[in-house]
Amino acid sequence: METNDARKLAPEALEALRMRAVRAVLDGKMQSEVAQVFGVTTRSLTRWVKAYRAKGFDGLKAGKRGRPKAGALLPWQAAQIARTVKDNMPDQLHFPFHLWTREGVALLIQDRFGIRLSRWTVGRYLKRWGYTPQKPINGPTSGTPLP
């Protein structure tokens, strides 16, 4: 059986295809037969029918495509966070840690602006602001033995 690549369809066309195929199943046709007629996989058709049963025809609407857009700070927000990191220690702001880390700055951003950023994105912001990763002064990697 040859199937069409539905990812190449426009969102409206994909929705129409899903609705027609699900209606055929609801009319009593076998899923394997409907999948062959519409040129889709049985697996896709099964997912569509399941989505229909869960949410009705709204469950068949095409969602957003592509890679999700990462959150970004507006310039004034970035400046405010950079200034906060420079001027304050985390415990001064009542955070449960004592040094700024990427995760800590991400928590500050989320707390302040409600924007969730990955640790990698926060790391890029910190690099842009002139911060570099630091190693502990005393620790197993510094070469100085602990007492």
- Angstrom distance (rounded) from CA 34 to CA 40: 8
Residue 88 DSSP code: -
- Angstrom distance (rounded) from CA 93 to CA 96: 9
Residue 68 DSSP code: P
Question: Hey, what are 91's tokens?
Answer: 């415990």
pTM: 0.50
pLDDT at 121: 92
Taken in order 138, 141, 142, 143, is the CA torsion positive or negative? positive
Q: How many angstroms separate the first and last alpha carbons of the chain?
A: 71
Rounded average pLDDT over 108-112: 94
pLDDT band for 139, please (50, 70, 90 cuts).
Answer: low
pLDDT at 68: 67
* pLDDT 10s digits, 74-106: 999 999 999 999 999 999 999 998 889 999 999
pLDDT at 75: 92
* pLDDT 10s digits, 15-69: 999 999 999 999 999 999 999 998 889 999 999 999 999 999 898 888 887 776 6
Phi, psi torsion values for 93, nearest 5 degrees: -95, 15
pLDDT band for 70, please (50, 70, 90 cuts).
Answer: low
Nearest alpha carbon to residue 6 among 53, 32, 15, 52 = 15
Phi, psi torsion values for 19, nearest 5 degrees: -65, -45
